[in-house]
Structure 1
Amino acid sequence: MLLALFSDIHANRHAFAACLEAARIRGAERLILLGDFVGYGGDPEWTVDTAMGLVEAGAIAIRGNHDEAIGTPSETMNAVAQTAIEWTRGRLSTGQRRFLAELPLSIEEEDRLYVHSEASNPKRWRYVQSALDAARSMMSTPAQITFCGHIHQPALYSLSASARMTAFVPREGIPVQLLKDRQWLVVAGSVGQPRDHNPDACFLTFDTGSRDVTYLRVAYDVEAAASRIRDNGLPAFLADRLSRGR
């Protein structure tokens, strides 16, 4: 089965729509949504409605820290993120807010774990920014493969039976086989706000048969997404950063 995995959509309708279409063209049979549907972007209603529809059709969806902040304000978010969350909270319906609040923090499926941040303590929203962070996550779960997001930058980590770590940045469009004799942590890039100096939206596919993971980049109308942010009176920084991919 070919899975398509999306993380950190952040209310970017144009990026999410482009990635969904790219996944459809590639023949994705199931969708996994790794959280942060809202925050930063200008189309939270459409994004949440789309996620709700995908879940009804069989997709898996995970709660991210921005999703949680809609119902439980966060004391750790910076001022810009807080501004976007407060604006978003006023735009969402009761049903949309309930959908976000009731999403699970993680889901296990066969040999895979889906989580927004990392496995050792999903509720703390830790970032996987190093091999040490990745090892902590992998050693806290029996899952052979963990898929997560949260840092907006693609990365792959593996841990051998002898506790040897490897870490690298995957190349766009180049499949990487997740060998069964290692444990893996697959960090998805961001659909709606990439921070790896590439403005193209990022998602990945995973073939459960061949065990190949492939990172994909999708060009979309960045200026239209930025205009939605500006037109809604959100901080200009959130619009400007989209074209820089950082």
Structure 2
Amino acid sequence: MHTFFAPDLVGPTYTLPEDESKHAIRVLRLGLGDTVELLDGRGGRYQAAVADANPKRCQLRIIQHETVAPRPYFTHVAVAPTKNLDRMEWFVEKAVEVGVERISFLRCARSERRELKLERLEKIAISALKQSGQAWLPQLDELQDFAAFMAGVAPATTFIAHLEEGERTALAQVAGAGPGCCVLIGPEGDFTPQEIELAISKGIRPVTLGASRLRTETAALAAVFTAHVVRA
């Protein structure tokens, strides 16, 4: 069954935007009575039938609806975006497929990417939502300075993954202790000692994701996957 994103769905009918209408009628060849799935990104999953096969404003009639409860464990990854944006796009796509509640983007001292536009990443997140059938679209936060982000964290459930020498606990051993976790992932040159010191001074615990030296986007995805495994 074909899936469409319907964030503003209200009532017994829904009209697809013009580009989606054209895709549904001209490309997918949907006709009257054909059924599709709609996801609103807020836990709503709908089955709908084509009521008006207009390629500019395809109208759908809702025939079935279920509400999917949020996951009981909240996973939040705060990551410094890579210079090559394709790698961040890959991370967002895979993280949504696995399941993540929030993704924040950090501007760190060693960050090579100083600006970030969310529009493309939001489209990728929606595409991944439709592909995977996830009912909840994660929150994507604008890029912000590391220090500013640190001012709003909850230390008890926040962890910083870094490569500096010192004692670090495996994320898998601590991530499942609370109702959720936030994992900080640094840029390609890692967090600076000063950034690590700031985090630790706030009560944030240093963690490791394993023995391998991971790329930024791989480390971020590993954090998402680890959070799922420990709660399985």
Q: What TM-score comes out, normalization by structure 1 length?
A: 0.33
Highest RCO, 1 vs 2 (Cα 8 Å, sep ≥ 6) = 1
TM-score, normalised to structure 2, is 0.35
When you count strand as a share of all residues, which structure comes out higher?
Answer: 2
Select the structure of larger CA radius of gyration: 2
